[in-house]
Amino acid sequence: MEHYRANESNDAKAAVRRLSMLNEVRTVLRGAAVEYRVSSRSLSSRRRFPKAAGASTLALASAPALAETIIKSLRASDFVTLMKPRVMLLAVFTALVGLIIAPGDLDPLVGSVAVLAIAAGAGAAGVLNMWYDADIDSVMARTAMRPIPRGKVSRVEALVFGVVLAGSAVAVLALAVNVKAAGLLACAILFYIVVYTIWLKRHTPQNIVIGGAAGALPPVIGWAAATGEIGLEPLILFLIIFLWTPPHFWALSLNRTDEYARAGVPMLPVVAGRAATTRQILIYSALLVPSSVLPWALGFAGTIYGVTALICGAILIVLARQLIRSSEADRGAAHRLFAFSILYLFVLFAALLASHGSNGSNLWSSPFSVGGTSTAAGTAQAESRAGPLRTAQF
């Protein structure tokens, strides 16, 4: 009996093992069938659509390279952001105007190199500004998303990039154009970084007033690139931008007072308050209007420019008076003045170009011009307008 039970138990175990083996075989066969169907469909697809299959294989193979390209392009965009493209655009535009309206003929290739060098110099100043101000940028909402606070670019990378870009810009301008223009570009970069960014910005509410000299130099650099000299005309353009800078930046800082205070930057609204700042904005706007008319009044520009300067100046004064009468809770008045101030400078210099073109290339070849490039017709025209004034040379 016990022997029978043992045999029965052995038979049961053997049956279980056979059943398990059959299940394993069934699983293997089922997997093989699935693989066969998949491979058959893939082969059929390749036969019917060989190009699509090849493209898929190529896409898979190139995925790592594509990812690397995307990463590199994102890094490149971060470095471009460091150059402050919008600020750079305004500087390049005013430099271009100074270059075009200067007397004499400039080779287009040399002019293009000059504009690119000035653009690189302006971008380098922006990079070095962000390098030094990274600690301030990280605590201000307006600047917290810049590449260095976000960790996209290190401070060392920014410093190296800015120094190399600045040095290259000055060297190219000196070798391809002239040393005087290159020297002015170097002075503008150093003034913006050393005098404004490192010294003035964190120590005096007059930081924007004095530091604005760096941003006012581009038309002088453009003029010097074309003539090799500095005349009265570009100095008047310098004066216009110099007086434009405080209303422009103070209007911006009025709506960012808390941020500047938290960052420890003594902007005028932080130190003197809203009322004093709005009064200063009106004063500088009032000084800017007659200064902006000087090119027309002294015969440097035509009627198009004169009318444009008067209209834009009147609008600026109206906006400045509205700002004085606005309440502290009204952020719109400061924003409107800030936005218009950008348009103001673009329109003013565009009108200068339009006036220059409509009056012919000799309009600026006046007794104010330097380098002996004046034509007889241009000289006679300027003398009839400007009288006995003569060139200021440096």
Q: Which of 106-110, 247-251, 292-296, 305-309 has the lowest mean pLDDT?
A: 106-110
Q: Does 196 fall in a domain?
A: yes
DSSP state of 362: T
The pLDDT assigned to 117 comes to: 97
Which of 59-63, 351-355, 388-392: highest mean pLDDT? 351-355
Return the structure tokens found at 181. 């223009």
pLDDT per position as a tens digit, 188-211: 999 999 999 999 999 999 999 999
The pLDDT assigned to 219 comes to: 97
Q: Does 212 fall in a domain?
A: yes
Q: Which of 166, 195, 230 is the last residue of a domain?
A: 230
Average confidence (pLDDT) over 37-47: 44
Higher pLDDT, 86 or 356: 86
The pLDDT assigned to 370 comes to: 40
Class of residue 47 by CB neighbours under 10 A (exposed 0-12, middle 13-18, buried 19+): exposed
Residues 387 and 244 in one domain: yes
Higher pLDDT, 260 or 2: 260
Q: Which residues lie closer than 8 Å to 54 by C-beta, 6 or more apart?
A: none
Residues 237 and 222 in one domain: no
Asked if the model's pLDDT at residue 16 lies above 60, the reply is no
Residues 316 and 246 in one domain: yes
Higher pLDDT, 49 or 85: 85
Asked if the model's pLDDT at residue 379 lies above 90, the reply is no
Q: How many domains does the chain have?
A: 2
pLDDT band at residue 342 under the 50/70/90 scheme: very high
Asked if the model's pLDDT at residue 218 lies above 90, the reply is yes
Please tell me the distance from the alpha carbon of residue 212 to that of residue 196, in angstroms, as a whole number.
Answer: 8
Look at residues 184, 111, 93, 97 and name the one whose alpha carbon lies nearest to residue 364. Answer: 97
The pLDDT assigned to 267 comes to: 96
Please tell me the distance from the alpha carbon of residue 19 to that of residue 369, in angstroms, as a whole number.
Answer: 106
Count CB neighbours of 339 within 10 A: 13
The pLDDT assigned to 253 comes to: 95
Residue numbers of the domain that contains 106: 98-230
Please tell me the distance from the alpha carbon of residue 347 to that of residue 229, in angstroms, as a whole number.
Answer: 26
- Report the alpha-carbon angle 338-246-207, nearest 5: 125
The pLDDT assigned to 323 comes to: 96
Asked if the model's pLDDT at residue 371 lies above 70, the reply is no
Asked if the model's pLDDT at residue 116 lies above 60, the reply is yes
Asked if the model's pLDDT at residue 359 lies above 80, the reply is no
Higher pLDDT, 157 or 358: 157
Residues 259 and 222 in one domain: no
Count CB neighbours of 124 within 10 A: 27
Return the structure tokens found at 255. 């709506």
Q: Which of 236-250, 307-321, 333-347, 376-390 has the lowest mean pLDDT?
A: 376-390
Look at residues 282, 255, 254 and name the one whose alpha carbon lies nearest to residue 268. Answer: 254
Q: Which of 166, 201, 230 is the last residue of a domain?
A: 230
Q: Does 79 fall in a domain?
A: no
pLDDT per position as a tens digit, 131-151: 999 999 999 998 999 999 999
Please tell me the distance from the alpha carbon of residue 389 to that of residue 302, in angstroms, as a whole number.
Answer: 18
Residues 263 and 214 in one domain: no
Average confidence (pLDDT) over 45-73: 50
Asked if the model's pLDDT at residue 373 lies above 80, the reply is no
Residues 253 and 194 in one domain: no
Average confidence (pLDDT) over 310-334: 94
Please tell me the distance from the alpha carbon of residue 207 to that of residue 198, in angstroms, as a whole number.
Answer: 10
- Whether 107 contacts 225, CB under 8 Å: no
Q: Does 194 fall in a domain?
A: yes
The whole-angstrom distance between residue 71's C-alpha and the CA centroid of its chain comes to 21
Residues 311 and 226 in one domain: no
The pLDDT assigned to 385 comes to: 35
Asked if the model's pLDDT at residue 392 lies above 60, the reply is no
Q: Does 302 fall in a domain?
A: yes
Residues 157 and 209 in one domain: yes
Q: Which of 200, 230, 260 is the last residue of a domain?
A: 230
Residues 119 and 210 in one domain: yes
Please tell me the distance from the alpha carbon of residue 12 to that of residue 231, in angstroms, as a whole number.
Answer: 112
Helix/strand/coil percent split, the chain, to 5? 80, 0, 20
Q: Does 314 fall in a domain?
A: yes
Can you count the helices (H) and strands (E) in the chain?
A: 16, 0
Return the structure tokens found at 60. 């898979």
| Phi-psi map region of 264: left, alpha, beta (phi>0 left; psi -120 to 50 alpha) | left
Q: Does 32 fall in a domain?
A: no
Count CB neighbours of 42 within 10 A: 11
Asked if the model's pLDDT at residue 57 lies above 90, the reply is no
Which one-letter amino acid corresponds to residue 303? T
Secondary structure of 21-81 in the HEC alphabet? HHHHHHHHHHHHHHHHHHHHHHHHHHHHCHHHHHHHHHHHHHHHHHHHHHHHHHHHHHHHH
Q: Does 355 fall in a domain?
A: yes
Residues 334 and 256 in one domain: yes
Residues 204 and 259 in one domain: no
Q: What is the CATH number of the domain that holds 165?
A: 1.10.357.140
The pLDDT assigned to 74 comes to: 65
Q: What is the CATH number of the domain that holds 352?
A: 1.20.120.1780
Residues 302 and 185 in one domain: no
CA atoms within 13 A on the CB side of 132: 18
The pLDDT assigned to 30 comes to: 52
The whole-angstrom distance between residue 50's C-alpha and the CA centroid of its chain comes to 47
The pLDDT assigned to 356 comes to: 80
Please tell me the distance from the alpha carbon of residue 289 to that of residue 266, in angstroms, as a whole number.
Answer: 27
The structure's pTM equals 0.75
